[in-house]
Structure 1
Amino acid sequence: MVQMFHGLSRYDYLVKECLNAHALNDSAPFPQVFGRLFHENPVTGNLSTSHIVDAFDALVETMRTDEINDGPADAGMTFLGQFVDHDVTLDAQSAIGTRIDPRSIRNIRTPNLDLDCVYGDGPEATPFLYSPDHEGFMLMGREDNPNDLPRNCKGRALIGDPRNDENIIVSQIQGAFIQLHNILMSHVEEEDDTAKDVHDCAAMGIRSEIWSEVVAPKLMGFEQVRRFIRLHYQWIVLHEMLPAFVDQKIIDHVLAHDPFPNAPIMPAEFSGAAYRFGHATVQPTYKLKKGGDPVHLFEMLGFSPRGTESDIEMRMFFDVAGTAAQKALPVGIEMADTLFQLPGNIVGGGLEWNGHEIPLEQARKLGLRNILRDRSALKLASGQQAAAKLGLDALAPPTALTDHHIDKTPLWFYCLQEASEKGKGRLTGVGGHIVASVIIRLLRLDPESVLNLHHFEPWHGFGGADCTMGRMMEYVETHRDHVTHREDLFCG
């Protein structure tokens, strides 16, 4: 038996050790800590903490809106973006009011676009995600609702990242990937034409003898299906999700020339600021089904068994051949009023920063929480400082700050300001460069990613060259009953 590194699945070992010294990051796994793109930017000057908090609160209040304007992205892209975030980052250490060096923060997720939030560490290391009776199949659904997530006796979802159960939309994206895996595993078990397509796609870029030498025969089908889904997921992130939120000119520039060639794998500026653009794209209500009534965002909370009445139609969130999916709000400096009133099960009380008590009314504002984490914990560079480092013309700070004698804009707001003033509802400038460079670098440094398979073509079952999230979700919804051992896989 081939010796494996502790904590690595056979597939991860395959990537790390067996690609002729061209594995991840020169045969080393991606470092699972955060880092900085720019120098630390501590709070300085004579302004009191209370004055600074009031200034940021005034800035965030300028964002509040109850006017709903459609942006360029499908509504589901907001939640796919959340799913991607949960696939590549989990900071369980930084907190508002507590200073911490990003280099000391462990990233609990592997910073690869590898769907570890779905697969965990594979059947051998995380067996609670998998059927004990049917090799390579994942637990899925419940008898009361086959489209819910598998759950334990307390109603907790049995998934690779518990955050993917926090609302019923991202929960069902998670569930759809699990269902897709089991659908394709069923084809592999039946050894039909789809199984051949899965095998041929999974084999791309990896010598056949490597598979037979490293992967246990009983897990061969599982590993092939996992790679097949990973490649199409990466394709969608690169070719659909990223352009939905980032100016295509910025993406093209980053593909040709990385603006941060020596950057950490997972910068705090990405996870703590730029990638939080999604908060500004959230609608206050969504229709779950065609013809249904709008449902308030905070009526869709998860972390408990979901009834069939809350099952969504994916065509309402991802466009399929003109089905007119709902739209996300444009990336920008307007934010739905809903996110200024986070409910009690999310925010249980006020905050404290440097001896200053931040009352519950302010603590419930998501935008203010983003800025306070930046300034109190992570000490991120301001938008103007980041623009200078990138050689870009800096935007002027908003009057809500200058009226409070603050002349530098927190990075999260600055990225949204660029999108409003220059990006036509998409990230551009500093925000666009940070988000595009991190996503693209994750793919570029992974030798078996879709970005490094130049002859890759998406599967015809997902639309071929027109592969989209909508078409993948349509495939799942059409074939979700085609799962062998289906009832055996229900849990909870």
Structure 2
Amino acid sequence: MQHGEIILDVVAPRSRFYQGGFGRLFPELEPWVPDIPQPATGGIGTAQALQNHFMNFVAQNMVDATGAGGRDISLPSGYVYFGQLVDHDITHDVTPLSESEVDPNRLHNFRTPRLDLDSLYGAGTKDQPFLYEAGTGKFRIDQIQGTNFRDLPRHRGTALIGDPRNDENIIVAQVHLAFLLAHNALVDEARKQGAKNPFETARKTLRWLYQWVVWNDYVRRICRDDVHKAALRLESGAGLIKVWQVGYDDVFDWKVNPFMPVEFSVAAYRFGHTLVRGGYQTNIGNGVGPNNGFPTFDVANPNTKGDLRGGNPLTSNRVIQWDWFLQMDSSFGPDFPQVARAFDPLLVEALRRMPEDPVNPSSPTAILNVLAARNLVRGVRMQLPAASAVARKLGIDHLPIQQQEDEALWFYILREAQSTEAVGSNGERLGLLGSILVAATFAGLLKGDPLSFLNMEPAWTPDRDPLLQALDQNLQINRDAGQAGNVSWGLPAIVRLSGLPVDGSSFPQPAGGAAAVPPPATPAPPAAG
């Protein structure tokens, strides 16, 4: 869950006519700034005072003292890390600016604000040939030495992939790997069917399947049902033609091409941080039980390989058994798949001790290690509006503002999701305001992409795709549709298409018949810091 070591101090323009990579949904709303004592002359600076304020707030209000367990919800944990891959596919800002260098024109999104898997494909086979097998149109894949398990392609340990951020932890790395292998399977099928350009044929199918999964599986799970249904719908237009209609086009009001809204990227879409567990079981080969998993971050030993950080070749004990992370037909017992923690303002202790500060790794007093504090500071520096002002702008109810920090858009969205009031979702998914911001943005990105299936073939479904239809007939890659909470052609289908290990049969069985032991109630907690 690492997101870089620099707190970005950048500002998106407020003009409705701006057509850059980032923009604002509500440019007319005033920025929200917390009321904190101004530093005395010769004392700490305003920026440091802001950091100190939020560090104290996080320590008092946002730390889950229960450890790895917390409150569970029904969302399988695989979607938490799929959401991270989606984030890396649509947004990446690497512009470091000091407080005195606020220049709107320097804010640049190094990812296309489209669901087009540019984080996977990079610049293509000609401009980035090192990503691909020569002459095949297929991605390079490595193998874990001495095993049948596969890994991302690497050079001296460094992953050779379209977006290096997808190797920051081993779970999102294996989501990325699943997409690489899914593309390769589609290339083989396209060639079998006589496609003139197997690479492009496979890429189009995978992109459209990905868009389908994002909207019909992922966004449906994280947003309120009423908001999801209102945000995007297929209707009969003039002359009975099929047209996708966007329900919140007055929220995401873009011209010509969609931009990346900062209210989404800096606040609403950062809900995933609260869903992260302190640790996970990876596969049956390690056995089952509270001592057989891995902490997300080993806060006691930040320089060891005893956790789920990426950046190194995959080892067999960290290979994901996917029916432990997604609801598949082989998922067994009440505790598998492992599920996400609740949508709420509490983050596990591991995310307050991230090993990102080069001087004091894992120290809870260094802001680079405290993800929640960085999120709050970033929201102020990006001049996000107050949550209550956004709600009033949309004409919806909002929770009472009980303390000034409730106005911080990211914190409010988590608090709203946790609420049992009419605008909340009891921690199972985003609340009303959060759902609108997230669903409106995804719907706008899909509708604004001229090459999305919504615009190219509005009536397209995976069942009608010749490559997917043939592969499903042979491999039953859509077999998990109908499992608890699963839609047709959801994320499990991409895992099946990839050929990655789904159940325990791919792993050596632990000694003593541990494979038959019911899985633990909670995954392994992180080591004490």
More helix by share: 1
Aligned positions of 1:360-399 closer than 5 A: 360-375=365-380, 377-398=381-402
Number of corresponding residues = 409
Aligned positions of 1:280-429 closer than 5 A: 280-290=274-284, 291-292=287-288, 293-298=292-297, 299-321=307-329, 323=331, 324-343=336-355, 346-349=356-359, 360-375=365-380, 377-398=381-402, 402=403, 406=404, 409-421=407-419, 422-425=424-427, 426-429=429-432
**Which residue of 494, 505, 508 corresponds with 1:472?**
494
**Which residue of 29, 35, 41 corresponds with 2:23?**
35
* Rounded Cα–Cα distance in structure 1 between residues aligned with 2:101 and 2:220: 34
- Residue 142 of structure 2 aligns to a residue whose secondary structure is coil
**Which residue of 191, 211, 217 corresponds with 1:240?**
217
Post-superposition Cα deviations, 1:433-459, rounded to whole Å, max 9, x if no partner, equal: 111111111111123323343322224
Partner residue in 1 for 2:229: 252
Contact in 1 for aligned 2:325/2:339 (Cα 8 Å): yes
Counterpart residue type for residue 281 of structure 1: L
Question: Bigger shift: 277-286 or 236-245?
Answer: 236-245
* Rounded Cα–Cα distance in structure 1 between residues aligned with 2:230 and 2:112: 26
RMSD: 2.8
| Pair 1:140–1:302, CA change in 2 (3 A) | same
Contact in 1 for aligned 2:144/2:150 (Cα 8 Å): no
| Pair 1:479–1:370, CA change in 2 (3 A) | closer
Counterpart residue type for residue 387 of structure 1: A
- How far has the Cα of 1:51 moved from its partner? 6.0
Question: Bigger shift: 366-375 or 93-102?
Answer: 93-102
Post-superposition Cα deviations, 1:92-123, rounded to whole Å, max 9, x if no partner, equal: 01568677456531100111101111111211
Post-superposition Cα deviations, 1:39-93, rounded to whole Å, max 9, x if no partner, equal: 3516376732466545433432322112422123110111000000000000101
Counterpart residue type for residue 43 of structure 1: V
- How far has the Cα of 1:316 moved from its partner? 1.2
Partner residue in 1 for 2:444: 441
Counterpart residue type for residue 184 of structure 1: L
Partner residue in 1 for 2:264: 270
Post-superposition Cα deviations, 1:224-249, rounded to whole Å, max 9, x if no partner, equal: 00011111111111011112211111
* Rounded Cα–Cα distance in structure 1 between residues aligned with 2:228 and 2:105: 27
| Pair 1:165–1:363, CA change in 2 (3 A) | closer
| Pair 1:83–1:386, CA change in 2 (3 A) | same
Counterpart residue type for residue 365 of structure 1: V
Counterpart residue type for residue 433 of structure 2: V
| Pair 1:305–1:392, CA change in 2 (3 A) | same
- How far has the Cα of 1:432 moved from its partner? 1.2
- Residue 125 of structure 1 aligns to a residue whose secondary structure is coil
Contact in 2 for aligned 1:32/1:108 (Cα 8 Å): no
Partner residue in 2 for 1:47: 37
After TM superposition, the score normalised by the length of structure 1 is: 0.76
Partner residue in 2 for 1:135: 136
- How far has the Cα of 1:473 moved from its partner? 0.7
- How far has the Cα of 1:186 moved from its partner? 2.2
Structure 1: runs of 5 or more not aligned: 1-29, 200-216, 352-357, 481-492
Post-superposition Cα deviations, 1:382-435, rounded to whole Å, max 9, x if no partner, equal: 21121121112232234xxx3xxx365211101111101112221122211111
- How far has the Cα of 1:125 moved from its partner? 1.7
* Rounded Cα–Cα distance in structure 1 between residues aligned with 2:283 and 2:36: 54
| Pair 1:478–1:337, CA change in 2 (3 A) | closer
* Rounded Cα–Cα distance in structure 1 between residues aligned with 2:388 and 2:360: 30
- Matched-pair identity in %: 32
Post-superposition Cα deviations, 1:211-268, rounded to whole Å, max 9, x if no partner, equal: xxxxxx5xx1100000111111111110111122111111122225214142452011
Partner residue in 1 for 2:300: none
Question: Bigger shift: 238-247 or 421-430?
Answer: 421-430
Counterpart residue type for residue 419 of structure 1: A
- Residue 153 of structure 2 aligns to a residue whose secondary structure is coil
Partner residue in 2 for 1:455: 459
Counterpart residue type for residue 312 of structure 2: S
Post-superposition Cα deviations, 1:278-323, rounded to whole Å, max 9, x if no partner, equal: 0000010111113442210021111122222221111111111361
* Rounded Cα–Cα distance in structure 2 between residues aligned with 1:60 and 1:396: 20
Partner residue in 1 for 2:166: 164
- How far has the Cα of 1:275 moved from its partner? 0.5
Partner residue in 2 for 1:225: 202
- How far has the Cα of 1:374 moved from its partner? 1.3
Contact in 2 for aligned 1:101/1:378 (Cα 8 Å): no
Question: Bigger shift: 283-292 or 82-91?
Answer: 283-292
Counterpart residue type for residue 141 of structure 1: D
- Residue 73 of structure 1 aligns to a residue whose secondary structure is strand
* Rounded Cα–Cα distance in structure 1 between residues aligned with 2:100 and 2:163: 25
| Pair 1:391–1:95, CA change in 2 (3 A) | farther
* Rounded Cα–Cα distance in structure 1 between residues aligned with 2:343 and 2:454: 26
Question: Bigger shift: 176-185 or 158-167?
Answer: 176-185
**Which residue of 98, 108, 111 corresponds with 1:109?**
111
After TM superposition, the score normalised by the length of structure 2 is: 0.71
| Pair 1:397–1:47, CA change in 2 (3 A) | farther
Counterpart residue type for residue 262 of structure 1: D
